[in-house]
Amino acid sequence: MIDKSLLPQHVGVIMDGNGRWAKKRGLPRTEGHRRGAEVFRTISTYASDIGIPYMTFYAFSTENWKRPESEVAVIMDLFRDFLHEAEDRRAENEKRGFRFHFIGDLTVLPEDIRALADYMESQNPETWRTTVNVAVNYGGRSELVHAAREIASRVRDGALSPDAVNEQTIAELLYTRGQPDPDLIIRPSGEYRLSNFLTWQSAYSEFWFSDVLWPDFTTDDFDRALEDFARRSRRFGGI
């Protein structure tokens, strides 16, 4: 058991390794994504149970559109399944204290998915224990471009002085506005990079990497990441 005061307030997870997991087993890559979706449900539920207020899962990046159309179609179907399942379990999710938030440019997603996501967010409970951010068609650089365009528009319209632009101005225009920056970012699968995930928000994040592929990731692995985080000294540039 970890002292709750040492738990991160916000954990970001790069769900990586689904395709390699399937390939190792002689299965279609899509089966890896199906298994990965199950692990997402397990970890988000566990995080809520132990008292982590914010979780952000990297589900689909702006670069993932480069994948084969058939694979993208399956991922979109899994997203639909998640949204329908969340609606079916609304009472259970409310009791657990889940609040769902979708970050990224959803305007290019299929219309039915956008409508389901909007409806799901509109049904969020007024009181909650854990916010689950699902990053779909998300890219950290794209997010910053979006913020920069909004700032430029406000300056052009005279609503904002260039001299008044500061870090807080930008933070308030990000998809995660109103939320703390991630204390910890977890990346399984043996890769050691951010891959355009929470580029601005991760400036002072701790990182935890594992060779475990996401479909094999367990609550024990999550605990190991939390235990490692609890042992770290975070000085934020101080002594």
Task: Find the catalytic residue in 3, 18, 49, 64.
Answer: 64
DSSP 91-103: HHHHHHTEEEEEE
Name the phi and psi angles at 112, rounded to 5: -65, -35
Long-range contacts of 175-180 (CB under 8 A, 24+ apart): 175/103, 175/104, 175/133, 175/138, 175/143, 176/56, 176/103, 176/133, 176/201, 179/10, 179/54, 179/131, 179/133, 180/9, 180/10, 180/54
Catalytic residue list contains 16: yes
Work out the number of other CB atoms within 10 angstroms of the CB of residue 68: 10
CA-nearest of 213, 233, 234, 222 to 24 is 213
Contact 81, 38 (CB under 8 A): no
Q: Is 124 a catalytic residue?
A: no
- Among 3, 16, 133, 137, the one annotated catalytic: 16
The catalytic residues are 16, 64
